[in-house]
Amino acid sequence: MENLQATMDRATMCEFYPAGNVVRRAIAVLRHQGLKSFWFKILGELGYRRLLLLERSLAQPVSEVIAGLPIRVDVLQETDVDDYLVFRPDTPLTSVTERLTLGHRCYLARHEGRIVAACWTATRSVWSEYLGCEIGLGAGDAYLFDRFTLPAFRGLRIGNAVRMRQLRNLQQAGYRRTISAIMLENKPALRDIAKGGAKPFAVIGRFKFGRWQRTFRRRWTGELAD
């Protein structure tokens, strides 16, 4: 399962943990995201990491979202894998085939035949390489992950249209809620997913020192800052 989540974690981390050595990454974070995010990135390098878990009840109505460009939303098939790898060249073929083998589903949006946005759904517990622990799912839970829209197509509600299709299909299949895991420092992603009705309910994280590691999960009692 570790290889399965590696691509998801890289996608989540790439913007907030820039490439390069520790000093260059720290300088980039301080310049673009401010002092608070800087300290959490440093803590992440030293072994403390955390993710905010958000839930959305599927008893809520799912609104219709009209994208700013003509799109077609589909579910990834084995015959689409080559197209997906063009869309996400950082994703190993083995990760995509493993996800499909495990029954995970990828909802994608095409514009003029090209994949421009996608998001995966898992309905069983998944391994987070970033945290080094499993994110468990209960009966009736579905986990949404590795959401990505090509930069040139962001701000056009394409990703939201994909997510609403996911939610409708999960509702029809009898699932009760969706869960997403996002870094607390990723404010744009938190704001975006909150618009779809998701609410924070827990924080999951780990402390690591050498080979010693302790994971934790606690109830979320705070509020999301703007």
Rounded average pLDDT over 5-22: 41
Rounded average pLDDT over 97-121: 96
CATH no. for residue 174? 3.40.630.30
What was the pLDDT predicted at 33? 47
Is 226 a domain residue? no
Q: What DSSP string runs through 161-202?
A: HHHHHHHHHHHHTT--EEEEEE-TT-HHHHHHHHHTT-EEEE
What was the pLDDT predicted at 109? 98
Length reported for the chain? 226
Is 160 a domain residue? yes
Q: Whole-model pTM?
A: 0.76
Q: Strand 177-182 and strand 141-149: pairing?
A: parallel
Q: Which domain holds residue 28?
A: 2-219
In this predicted structure, the answer to whether residue 185 has a pLDDT above a threshold of 60 is yes
Is 224 a domain residue? no
Is 189 a domain residue? yes
Provide CB contacts within 8 A for 173, sequence distance 6+.
Answer: none
In this predicted structure, the answer to whether residue 9 has a pLDDT above a threshold of 80 is no
Question: Domains in the chain: how many in total?
Answer: 1
Is 225 a domain residue? no
In this predicted structure, the answer to whether residue 141 has a pLDDT above a threshold of 50 is yes
Name the average pLDDT for the chain.
Answer: 82
